[in-house]
Amino acid sequence: MSNAKPQVPVARILDANDKELMAIRKITPEGNTLVIRGKIFGAMPMVAKLTPKEARAALKLLDFRTFVFLLTLLFRKD
């Protein structure tokens, strides 16, 4: 019988040199916002909120090619 805690999934956002900028530990909806919880630079806890207005603004940054890339990203090998 093991006393080990189950691993919490972590998504990492990396910089251009593959250094960790942020470790995302939890993404949850709260009302009309998407709340992202994690740590910046491996040390500082952070809570970020994405509102519907900002989500629409982010989608406007995507062209068709990037949109298709995002759709297929989950199915690509590392």
Tell me the per-residue pLDDT of 39-58, one tens digit each, with 9 for 90 and over: 998 889 999 999 999 999 99
- Asked whether the predicted pLDDT for residue 2 surpasses 70, the reply is no
* Confidence band for 1, pLDDT divided at 50, 70 and 90: low
Strand arrangement, sheet containing 44-50: 11-14, 20-30, 33-40, 44-50
What SS3 class is residue 1? Answer: coil
* H/E stretch holding 14: strand 11-14
Q: DSSP labels for 24-74?
A: EEEEEEETTEEEEEEEETTTEEEEEEE-HHHHHHHHTT--HHHHHHHHHHT
